Structure 1
Amino acid sequence: MVTYIRIELMGGGYFMINTFSETIIVPYLYSCTNIVTEVNKEFLDLTEYTWSELVGKSIKEVGNMLKFNLYPLEYKLNNKYSGYIFTKFLNALEVDISISIGSETNSKLYTFVEKPNSRLNDKLIFVEQMFIDNISGVAIYSVPDLILLKANQKYLNFAYSNYNKEENSIGKPISEVITGFAGTPAEVIFNSVLISQKANYVREFEFDNISKGKTYWDSTQTPIFDNGRMKYIFHTAVEVTQRVLKNQNIKIQNKIISHQNECLEHEEAIKRRFEILRRVINTFDLPVVRLSCPDLKIIAINKKALNTINLIKPEFIPNTNIKNNTMKFLLGLLRTTEYDRRISGVLKEKKTKYLNKQHYIIDGNELYFNIIFEPVLEVNGEIQEILILVIDVTPEIKSNINMKEVLKSQGEFLVNISHELKTPLNVIFATAQLFNVYCESGSLDDNKNSIIKYIDSIKQNSYRLSKMINNIVDLSKIEAGFFKLNLSNNDIVKFVEDIVLSVTNFTDSKGLNIIFDTNTEEKTIAYDPEKIERVVLNLISNAIKFSDAGNEILVNVNDKNEFIEISVKDTGIGIEKKYLDMIFDRFKQVDKSLSRNAEGTGIGLSLVKSIVELHDGTIKVESQYGTGSKFTVSIPSRNVSNENRIYNSEVRGKDQSIRVELSDVYS
């Protein structure tokens, strides 16, 4: 039996919807004059958007958010349309959309019914691991309109730069995602799959990318059927450019060698062979030097080789006629002993010799070369000449070096984090065990004073855990692009002064003198109060951490017209000059030992820098070891028209903020 339900709107009015059960209400949105005025909980659950993100938007804007053009449908009432919409987190949903007239003037009701068992994650479990592994480029397109429903980053890197991010590509037709799709062999291949409904595999497919140039791919288009009907096309793409180029080079070399062998039959053929070889070398994209044997005179040297020598030895004049000079002349420009040893090996063994990872510093830049010494043999097996080829492997070597440094830094970071997490957990666990002993022995009242002290210890170590976890999570959010600022216009002078006043009791207990000073009484600028509070407290925490009783901490706010400067200066131990460039790095610490005098994960300053940069600001440090440090934050002096006042109602209390941010120095 069909049941009709009357839905009352918050702004007045109502509409009726029908359903098969009184417990089921379909997702809907309601609009007046093309502005969304109401959405139900089911619609929010379906799309993963919040009420505030949808209400007040135009139908066209909401359609853009769902990646489905709702606007033209308002002229085709009482019809049902099928298609894909996309949630806030870019999950594809196959829905039936219906539009009917609401109870108010110029109002319409849009209902969205998700088709049963249509979600990709449920239907295509067998390919989900390929998206997670991100080894090959993988994507799923709808049939027949070829809308991109899902793709991994490897696949998106294949697209033009405007579409190499999920938010720009998911929900788009293939003609937009893949640059130059229309009228290309790629379009023919996909149309063939649509017509034949059979899988297609293309080996070493050539693709001309605007930004990357010509690349080659092994590509597979596999149709996926649902109830006997082709529903999706599963596309995989593996870049094989290096393999193709390597094979092409091998073919070129084989062609040269084959041609040489044919020409060895008589003297005239040999002359033609050397003439061909000379031309190829001159156009070769690698530095090449030809040496005669056994006198090792330079027969020819191409422009690429001259330029390379000039890089290594700037005093070398490229126009110098070095032809017919002996190899000793060339070795004099380079490294005589290592090169001479390889050439001697070629002459003796008649085999190819290599000189790898040759390191040069040129204009302050590090360069790495692999050198190949290749003998060219006569028919009788004697060496006719030696080819010297130079390959620039700087990108590969530097990439390996950088990767090792990153992995080492991350390892050190994880070891330190493990230690820092373990310390408060051990304290809490030990205290819990002690409470258990008191409970079993019935001595809770006898140890009341001790229990109060232990409860304070649990709270303090909980604050430490909270700070560490918050910092790690926030750094991850910043890296992923999910860390957002809630900007509002506030008096920054009073704000910083209040923070300083709120920590004076604590600094007094430490025997430290904290002073606030400013060159202006009031300055209203746009900033996120919660985030800037964390920045200031973090810098004060560092100053406290590395100061001794009797030291002084000076907090300044200076109006620099276009910028506001907030500085925290201490007279503590300071920082050695060699560490100044690394203190803001995410995986670097000045002190990597596990027995440091001051506790902390070492990621606080990295988070501070990230928050400041999100405000379009900068942070710098000045320090002299033994006399103290000064951290200066600069924030643009500007206001915003649309303020976000969430800070006033939702952030934790100031006392709790202080206890969390100063947890690693609290006692």
Structure 2
Amino acid sequence: MVDYREVFRKMPMPVLFVKYKLISNEQFKMKIEFINEETLSFLNKTSEELINKEFFDILPEFKDDKNFTYKIQNMDSDNIIYTKYVRSLNNFIKITIQKINDENFIFYLECCIEKRVLDNIKKKGNVFFVKDKDNKYMDSSYSYKELSGNANIDIYGLTDFDLYGAEIGSKYFEATKEFIDSKQTYTKENCNLNNNVYLLNKYSILSDDEVVGVIGVLETIEGKLERISDGGVIAEILNNSSEHIVFKDVNGIYLDCNDSFLKDLNVKREDIIGKANCNVKALSSINDSSIKTDLAVINEKKRIIYTQEINIDEQVKEFEIIKEPFLDSYGNVAGVIATGRDVSHRREIEKLQQEFFANISHELRTPLNLIFSSLQIIKFIKKESCEKAREFNKYINIIEQNSKRLLKLVNNLIDSTKMKCGYYKYNPKNGNVVSFIEDISMSVAEFAKQNNIDLIFDTNVEEKIMAFDFEKLERIMLNLLSNSIKYNKANGKIEVLLNDCGDSFNIAVRDTGIGIPSDKLEYIFERFRQVENRLRKSNEGSGIGLSLVKDLIEIQDGIIEVKSELGIGSEFKIKLPVKVLSEEHDFNKEYFDNDSNDLVKRMNIEFSDIYL
């Protein structure tokens, strides 16, 4: 028999000479009879701790591996290679097994991960983990256990399901499985752990070109925008863009930004990275609004676009800001990516456009006044003598009604434009809002009756003195009542319901009309929006009325809501805050009585697009 001992001593790799002894059909022992010097340093043990000791006591991970024991028992003359993670060595150990005879085996040991690589990862304080080919955790840094929320448990042998639960765990598990199956040597992913964004670098651990495990090393991406974008051309584009580009985590902490953002704010990168708006002087004024919009993006997982005024170097600039969720490689929201564009010039252009509309609207009003003046003269002449008085009267009515329709459109356009330009003034006075709305409702009731519609007025209080803008509230009520008549059914009903709620005063206008489609409800208060319905002409209305109503309510710090069901009817609810001004703001009763005399005229203009 060949004396292997001399051969072993000269070998540059760890070697075990093992005596095999079968105990039963399924059980056997393997006693270590000889080792070389390399084995001592490899296993970090003395000769006394190894010689004549059971192999499974030295490397117990192999004892419980039925696949390994099966291969040993059924081994023929060919060598076999088996790799397994050994906790005591913090490494995957590759064993090449050579069968000398039925009783003697030689085990050649190798580490799959170079020791210097592991030491380097640990010395740098990296957040890391090690998994085997079955996707089970073999080892990790304490910081990784902290991030996963499992700082106080041993994660050896556990899976992502055990650490993160079914929903998130399945994403992490499948991503690693896909990486193992692909046999790639490296990949990188973005991941969100404990509300912190990391770049996850995955490295394959190989044994004879087979993937036996994975090392995952996480690195923070603060100040590393180029790492997210893969560097190169994309990173260069981001930094050279004139638009502001920033990346924040879910806590509102800046992870990175482009050079344009830093230049315009006149700040250094270290003044931004790792901080929130409240800690950056140039951005502290927008902290509350920024938190609100960030949360909307994170919670709803969708893009939002809005404008924001920002004071930069004592100059107020308006920015159009686009925010959208940044998703990690597993579909979890990891943060917010925001781009900002200076649109101050656009605001000036829009203001000029709105002023133009206001001017041209006034130009339209002038010929209308001439038409009305001419009508008055024609009516006077008609009284003198006219052979075809009835036909003459018919055309006069057509001219008058359409002039009123045109006047209503112009009034709405002027007021809507004034509102957008900020020229529309709020003029509140103290008055009895109950009697005010009741007078308007009763005036409209007669008109509604001519259209075979009943108007019902009801209130839970007879008097409520509060501050409100009389002209604007009248405009609101006439518009809503006009729509309730216009879009009602024959023998329909309109209800005007008032409810004093103490701090607020609620007004409801309810009808039994044709209703509004549910998919159109969110648009009806938008300027120039029209809700088409096959029961009505599609070109009726300008799409300004309800937009103006909403503006008139909001200028009084009120809100308006709508509920509607197609074919059943609609209900508009107004909620106004209850405020009382000093006595000098009490409404002049005499003026109110005189002004009420013109209510019919204003009502005729508002209802001019309703045909009796």
Query: TM-score when scaled to structure 1?
Result: 0.37
Report which structure shows greater RCO (CA 8 Å, sep ≥6). 2
Structure with the greater alpha carbon radius of gyration: 2
Query: TM-score when scaled to structure 2?
Result: 0.40
